[in-house]
Amino acid sequence: MQYQWGSETVSSRTEQDVVAQKRLATEWDVINHRGSEQVQLIQHYQSLGMDINDATTVVDIFAKYKDILVDQKMAADGGMLPADQEVKPWKNGLVTFASFNVFGFTSLLSFIILIPFTDSDSVKFIGACIVSALALALVGIAKAKITSQNYVFSAAITVFNGAAAATAAYTLGWALKHVAGLEE
């Protein structure tokens, strides 16, 4: 589980580093090839449907402010937005770690809660599946809220992906159990 935290932290840090390197290269281009960079930006705005006069006016205004011009060139060239200085990789990692633990333990928790009520492994398994599906639906709804997507669609896709992953894991475990000769 610590792997999740570490990998998210490394991923966030790497993304910030890539954007910072791209920004340095774009700044160099803007400083050393300002005219051609402005022409490229005008052409980009025209490709989006802007009139040449409007595109020229916009780029002329941006050209007064080096940082804004660099940001616009980054967005136009590679779809990169400027690095968010407020992003903290360790916070992303901590949120991923906490989420992984909370949602990862829900099916185990349901299994444990059912112990006093039944000895049937099938009932416990079905209970764990239901609780896991509910947890995945909550993750899908949270994702939809953050990304302004359709709640039902996002929840359904998340539950489907989780069910597919669980089925693959269960099938692999079952196959390895039988190949290793660990059948009961």
Of 20-29, 48-57, 171-180, least confident by mean pLDDT is 20-29
- Under 8 Å between Cβ of 165 and 176: no
Per-residue confidence (pLDDT) for residue 70, from 0 to 100? 81
Q: What's the predicted TM-score (pTM) here?
A: 0.52
* Three-state secondary structure of 107-156: HHHHHHHCCCCCCCHHHHHHHHHHHHHHHHHHHHHHHHHHHCCCHHHHHH
Say if 99 falls within a structural domain: no
Write out the residue range of the structural domain in which residue 48 sits.
Answer: 2-78
Measured distance CA(72)–CA(76) in Å, rounded: 6
Q: Are residues 70 and 129 in the same domain?
A: no
- Please indicate, yes or no, whether residues 6 and 70 belong to a single structural domain of this protein: yes
Q: What is the pLDDT of residue 164?
A: 92
Confidence of residue 160 (pLDDT cuts 50, 70, 90): very high
Tell me the mean pLDDT in the region 31-49.
84
Domain total in the chain: 2
Residues 67 and 123 placed together within one structural domain of the fold: no
Whole-number pLDDT of residue 152: 93
